[in-house]
Structure 1
Amino acid sequence: MERYQFELPLGSGVDRALTVIRYGHYGRPVVVFPSEAGRAWDFEANGMVDAVGSLVHDGRVKLYCVDSVDADTWSDRTLPIEERAVRHGTYSRWLTDILIPWIHDDTTAGAELVATGCSLGAYHAVQLALQRADLVPLAIGLSGNYDVTTWRSWGERGEATYFANPADYVPNLHGDHLDWLRSRLSILLVVGQGAWETSPTGALPSTLRTAQLLRDKGIRCELDLWGHDVSHDWVWWQRQLAHHLPRFC
């Protein structure tokens, strides 16, 4: 395990120091987003690193666990939805312009990234892949809600919100770009049907709808629907990741 620090200016005088924790020394790079407003160490603290520990130890994956800035973006309910989306855009640019090139320098040449996350982290993983499939051609979303307008949003929605919201822009994908996404991108959506997957998180209905939107557009999307005993919780995300990640590394 190695820790690294980065700086992110969010604007309006808001600056954040971001932590990235790397687990492993060889293998396919996996960008890991925490649950809502989480930190880079949450993945280990909640048993997720141990759940895929054999993959790390055997050199099949390198995990890059990142801080969220949800507390300053999507989870800051004092801000209108468009301002939250603008701030999220700053975080997205940090991912694509700073973090991912750094990961490329730290890993095997030509290795293709995977993005994954739980709950709100699943949104970050899927959104990153949809927006930058050239950098991240595979996303694994665990119990995600992919419609930002359902997150106690208020205020007028503009361009920043539209392009940050798969529920808005996926139905309008078309032409050469859609053809390219069909050839490049794969998304795996996993969700349970138990406690907290429907209410208050909205993960179950949003996952089902997002899977259908992607399939309607011909984008590769696998939906893995777990049982009614499967709750919106770490113990199940451990099992889900351990079940699926070995297929891709």
Structure 2
Amino acid sequence: MSERVELQVPGTDVSLGVIRHGHWGRPVLVFPSEAGRADDFANNGMVSAVQDLVDSGRVSFFCVDSADRWTWSDNAATTEERAIRQRAYTGWLEQAVLPWIAGQLGGERPLITLGVSMGAYHAVHFTLTHAHQAPLAIGMSGSYDVTSWHGHGEQGDATYFANPMSYVGGLHGEHLDWLRRAASVLLIVGEGPFEVSPTRALPSTIAFAELLSEKGIPHELDVWGHDSAHDWPWWRKQLAHHLPRFC
């Protein structure tokens, strides 16, 4: 495991962390669960779940801090305010994290994005808006409609363009054709505890998969059984099941 690296959020005096696991292989940009930190992925056994892939140089994980406490988890702010703040986080990824990863790898390479719970939203959203850099997203137990996240106040352009259920629904023409060629999404969710209430991950994932199907965007939907909970033990199993075919 690499030491934690602090990278400044552009235009602020705030820094967020990145931790690398692995020495070679397909680079995976990992988002934590809601309001989580870069070390959560390893601390919850996700690296160990695919340790053979890491040790054999098939995958490198680049785990980032979230900014959810001042974006989507700040329920005192309106949905539009939170969406505007999300832009700063995206700017950090674009201007700080991706160049740092490229420096680690000796050049730019296509990324997989990966996340659990709210991290699944970040992973899928980043791929759908940056498919030229991250053509594959793996979202586990995610919710993909930000307007359902205890929001309030009027919603404008910032909310629309931060909300996959909205902007994917509005895709058409050349941009949709390009995204059909450039992006692929794997959606994984269970039917067990906490996947319906309170997270609404199951209905949201199914609805989003239906929307991707309507738009012809390549995707897979993998629904696990009623014993599969919204929790790390199941995400470890899902990662170990799916990741080997991508790296």
TM-score range, shorter chain: over 0.9
Equivalence for 1:46: 44
Matched pairs, number: 246
For 2:168, what is the secondary structure of its paired residue? helix
Amino acid at match of 1:107: L
Q: Which runs of 5+ in 1 are unaligned?
A: none
Give the whole-Å Cα distance in 2 for the aligned partners of 1:166 and 1:44.
28
Amino acid at match of 2:38: A
Runs of 4+, deviation exceeding 3 Å: none
Amino acid at match of 1:4: V
Give the whole-Å Cα distance in 2 for the aligned partners of 1:105 and 1:215.
36
For 1:230, what is the secondary structure of its paired residue? coil
Equivalence for 2:135: 137
User: Aligned pair in 2 of structure 1 residues 205, 144: CA closer, same or farther (>3 Å)?
Assistant: same
For 1:171, what is the secondary structure of its paired residue? coil
Q: Deviations over 1:161-211 (max 9, x none)?
A: 000001111111011111011111000000000000001001000000000
Amino acid at match of 1:52: V
Which residue, out of 205, 208, 214, partners 1:207? 205
For 2:152, what is the secondary structure of its paired residue? coil
Equivalence for 1:104: 102
How far did 1:101 drift? 2.0
Q: Does the Cα contact within 8 Å between 2:30 and 2:63 map onto a contact in 1?
A: yes
User: Aligned pair in 2 of structure 1 residues 144, 195: CA closer, same or farther (>3 Å)?
Assistant: same
Give the whole-Å Cα distance in 2 for the aligned partners of 1:230 and 1:20.
29
Give the whole-Å Cα distance in 2 for the aligned partners of 1:125 and 1:104.
18
For 2:138, what is the secondary structure of its paired residue? strand
The answer as to 2:121 corresponding to 1:123 is yes
> What TM-score do the two structures reach when normalised by structure 1?
0.96
Give the whole-Å Cα distance in 2 for the aligned partners of 1:134 and 1:99.
16
Equivalence for 1:5: 6
Q: Does the Cα contact within 8 Å between 2:124 and 2:138 map onto a contact in 1?
A: yes
How far did 1:53 drift? 1.1
Amino acid at match of 1:185: A
For 1:204, what is the secondary structure of its paired residue? helix
Amino acid at match of 2:220: E
Q: Deviations over 1:112-167 (max 9, x none)?
A: 10000000000000000011101100000000000001110001101100000011
Q: Bigger CA drift: 93-102 or 183-192? A: 93-102
How far did 1:98 drift? 1.8
Amino acid at match of 1:199: S
User: Aligned pair in 2 of structure 1 residues 26, 108: CA closer, same or farther (>3 Å)?
Assistant: farther
For 1:172, what is the secondary structure of its paired residue? coil
Q: Does the Cα contact within 8 Å between 1:148 and 1:165 map onto a contact in 2?
A: yes
Q: Does the Cα contact within 8 Å between 2:9 and 2:96 map onto a contact in 1?
A: no
> What TM-score do the two structures reach when normalised by structure 2?
0.97
The answer as to 2:189 corresponding to 1:191 is yes
For 2:122, what is the secondary structure of its paired residue? helix
Which residue, out of 22, 25, 32, partners 2:23? 25
Give the whole-Å Cα distance in 2 for the aligned partners of 1:109 and 1:74.
32
Q: Does the Cα contact within 8 Å between 1:27 and 1:108 map onto a contact in 2?
A: no
Q: Does the Cα contact within 8 Å between 2:22 and 2:57 map onto a contact in 1?
A: yes
Give the whole-Å Cα distance in 2 for the aligned partners of 1:92 and 1:9.
10
Give the whole-Å Cα distance in 2 for the aligned partners of 1:7 and 1:108.
21
Give the whole-Å Cα distance in 2 for the aligned partners of 1:41 and 1:22.
10
The answer as to 2:56 corresponding to 1:55 is no
Q: Does the Cα contact within 8 Å between 1:18 and 1:66 map onto a contact in 2?
A: yes
Q: Does the Cα contact within 8 Å between 2:110 and 2:133 map onto a contact in 1?
A: yes
Amino acid at match of 1:226: W
For 2:84, what is the secondary structure of its paired residue? helix
How far did 1:94 drift? 1.1
Amino acid at match of 1:24: G
Equivalence for 1:155: 153
Cα RMSD over matched residues? 1.2
Q: Which runs of 5+ in 2 are unaligned?
A: none
- State percent identity of aligned pairs: 58
Give the whole-Å Cα distance in 2 for the aligned partners of 1:201 and 1:85.
19
